[in-house]
A and B are shown apart, each in its own frame.
Chain A
Amino acid sequence: MPRLTAKSATLLVLAALIAVTPFFFPSGYYYRVGALIFVNGLAVTGIVILTGYAGQISLGHAGFAGIGGYACALAPTHLGLHPSLAGVLGAVISAVLAYLVGRPILRLRGYYLAVATLGFGILVAMVLNNERALTGGPDGIAVPELGLRGLLKDWGLDLTNGQFWYFFCGIVLLIGAWIALNLHQSPGGRALRALHGSEIAAGTVGIDVARVKLQAFVISAVYASVAGSLVALQNKFITPDIAGFMHSIEMVTMAVLGGAGSVLGAIFGAGILTLLPQVLTVLAEYEQLVLGLVMMLVMIFLREGLLPSVLRKLRGRGE
């Protein structure tokens, strides 16, 4: 049997998990949780490209999720766009904003991006909260139906709402993971990972450091935006919380917990942190405490993240 590449192995594991897990669902509710994990996994895959590959950090990625989500709420009513195109529009706006914000900042050292994105996220949340006439303010706003489920029904594929979103988000996550994994192997991806090691060393071998960082930032913003659009379309409702500071922190924590350097690890981290509050409802009150603690502990003791560390241990024992 030919050896599987890491890329196809990751995609196979992911596809198998998405396809097989529903057989173990005790109730329809779990499709919802599953879809949520996939959406978070998608956003976190974007963080893998930015943080895991390129070694940069954003503390405001929820801002892009907010833009993606509110694009789906606003563009259909105000511009007459189909909700799916509204999601695309949100992704384009996110990419343009990421480019404009990132261009001056990414020439500089790491923490400038952290501060600027922190400010950016807070700014987006502020606009969504304050422009009541447009966004409905803190109470949120309704999002139109995507309509794809009805279309599938006409073609003879009758899914419940939960099932539809489970598989739809699962497929989008697979596509997102596939793109991220391809990037990992491409010359551009190698350039990104070279930055992570040392920006100066990368520069001396002829990599345009600022440009490559900017590309990673823009791509990861698009991931967050699409994830935001999916949340909005699935819930048919959206509030400014999606752009909030804590949501940005959640994304970073999911990525570093599972392992920001690996797509599968980060999605695994997204799974854990999405499931935990569902299993332990008492945790809601401790959410910030737990997130903060996880961030610190992982960075001190398991810098590669949970999954890569565990895999390395297993491999070490096997050989």
Chain B
Amino acid sequence: MSELLQFLFSGLTVGAVYALVALGFTIIYNASDVVNFAQGEFVMLGGMVTWFGHAAGLPLPLAALVAILATAALGVAINKLAIEPARGAPVVSLIIITIGASVFLQGAAQLVFDKQIHSFPAFSGDTPLRIGGATIQPQSLWVIGGALVVFAGLWLFFTRTLLGRAVLATSNNRLAAQLVGINTNFVMTLSFALSAGIGALAGVLATPITLTAYNVGIGFALKGFAGAMLGGMGNPKGALAGGFLIGLIEALTAGYLSSTYKEAAAFVVILLVLFFMPQGLFGRKSTERV
């Protein structure tokens, strides 16, 4: 029993990271119909820049803030320099652009930082808390709490603020949003900044547990996407639930089946979802206008 609890704790922890990545996917997807394959690199950058700043002598909170802001700025740059000029391009072109951005950021991180694995101290120490015979790291609570706070913040933003409603309006119908005076280009920029910032925050929170390196991004992207899809593409609630579920499935696979092949769990989920319920858990049947 305590063993199961232990697996659940570790599943919730990584699941929270996947949920944040899935939320990042969802924000950009809703605003622009673009699936941003560079989403995982934001997580990597959050961790790497924080490590770099911390190693250079900055206090940890300041280094984390710098990392989140820098990554958000980079998200905006990707939108302005690579996505906006390709507006109206076929899906395949947009996929190649964002995966190109992802590969580019990996290459840049390799050069600017290095190829080693890095970490920085946990925020509230390393003394594990004992709950029901299992243990949980205080940092795990930071990660899980972070995902919930971000979700609540996004919910407030999208339902209670004018700007958030503008984003929702753009995702519903871009042209109609423009007609009522919404600056849809600004909405796109905002979505990329928000999405990149959330990704970086995930990296900052998770790195003391999962460690970071220049090439961790693509795995986060894959699992975040699996989470977003499981929950139903474009649905923030679904992204949150889906991310946590992918984490739990992965942890249970590692615990009861094979720790070597836990990475395969996300892929199997993707295939099963596509096979049996392409709309995901919370998604609606999609119709496409021509």
Contact = CB atoms under 8 A, between A and B. Distances in A.
Q: Is the interface of B mostly helix, strand, loop or mixed?
A: helix
Contacts of A198: 290
Contacts of A215: none
Contacts of B90: 55, 110, 196
Contacts of B82: 296, 300
Interface string A279-301: 00000011111111111100110
A104 B269 CA distance: 13
B229 to A, nearest CB: 8
A56 B96 CA distance: 11
B100 A111 contact: no
Chain B interface category by residue count: 35 or more
Nearest to B275: A104
Contacts, number: 132
Most buried by B among A119, A200, A201, A293: A119
Contacts of A290: 107
A295 B107 contact: no
B100 A303 contact: no
Interface string A108-124: 11111011101110110
Interface string B98-110: 0111111111101
Most buried by B among A290, A291, A299: A299
B99 A59 contact: yes
A287 B91 contact: no
A119 B104 CA distance: 20
A110 B96 CA distance: 11
A292 B103 contact: yes
Contact of A122 (B110, B260, B267): B267
A57 B261 contact: no
B37 interface: yes
A225 interface: no
A138 B165 CA distance: 51
A101 interface: yes
A105 interface: yes
Given A122-B263, A123-B267, A300-B86, A57 B92 contact: yes
B218 interface: yes
Nearest to B86: A300
Given A112-B229, A123-B264, A296-B82, 15 more contacts: A55-B90, A57-B92, A57-B96, A105-B274, A111-B91, A119-B226, A122-B218, A126-B260, A196-B90, A246-B103, A285-B110, A293-B104, A296-B100, A300-B82, A300-B97
